[in-house]
Amino acid sequence: MASRLAPATKPLFRAQLSSRPTNGHVAFIPQVRKVVFEYCEKWASSANTRSYLHRHLEDLARAHPHVEVVVKQRNYKPPIVRGFYLNDNEKVIGLNGFEITGIQNKVQLLLDSSGAKIKPLKRRTIESTTESARGIWSGLHVDETFKI
């Protein structure tokens, strides 16, 4: 019946070996990986999208080399643009009724986003995983111990 001794080295629990995601801390990885344009060849609702694809798509693809740009035909349906992100999320935006500048704004919205779910951000100013640098106050470690 041997008594259990404390381990010679501090035990290493595997949870502390996992890394916390901090994109942008040292290296930044753009979160959007693919943008798919779906348009109709015939209908007038896709006319603006078709002219956008003719005039601005190549410059867009050149300016964002990390993004895979795909153009698909989806006939007899209104035009849409889909964004695919590294966190497996998808954003779909309809382009019906927009002028070319409007289409550019919507595409830029997809490229700027990180794919995270839209949540209220008014009170989420700082999201931190580091513990406080100055530590937590303790009533026992002051000159006069704090008396309730």
Partner 1 sequence: MALAALFRRAPLLLIVPDVAHPPLALRQCAARAVHTQADAPANATNALALIRAQPSKYVIASVAGRKYLLTPRDLLTVPRLNDVRVGDVLSLQQIHEIGSREYTLRGNPDIPSDRVAVQATVVEHTKGKMEEIFKKKRRKGYERTIKHKQTYTRLRIGPIDINLDRSS
In the chain, the amino acid numbered 115 is G
Q: How far is the CB of 8 from partner 1 (least distance, A)?
A: 20
H-helix or E-strand spanning residue 82: strand 80-85
- Indicate the residue among 45 and 89 with the shorter CB distance to partner 1: 89
Q: Which of 26, 59, 88, 137 binds partner 1 (CB under 8 A)?
A: 26
Total residues in contact with partner 1, by rule CB under 8 A: 37
Q: Which of 8, 12, 126, 148 binds partner 1 (CB under 8 A)?
A: 126
Q: How many residues does the chain have?
A: 148
x/- mask, partner 1, residues 50-89, rule CB under 8 A, reads: ----------------------------------------
Sign, Cα dihedral of 118, 119, 124, 129: negative
Cβ atoms of 54 and 103 within 8 Å: the answer is no
Cβ atoms of 38 and 30 within 8 Å: the answer is no
Q: How far is the CB of 25 from partner 1 (least distance, A)?
A: 5
Cβ atoms of 71 and 57 within 8 Å: the answer is yes
Q: Is 18 near partner 1 (CB under 8 A)?
A: no
- Indicate the residue among 32 and 80 with the shorter CB distance to partner 1: 32
Using only the alpha carbons of the chain, give its radius of gyration.
26
Binding segment (CB under 8 A) for partner 1, from list 1-9, 39-47, 86-94, 109-117: 109-117
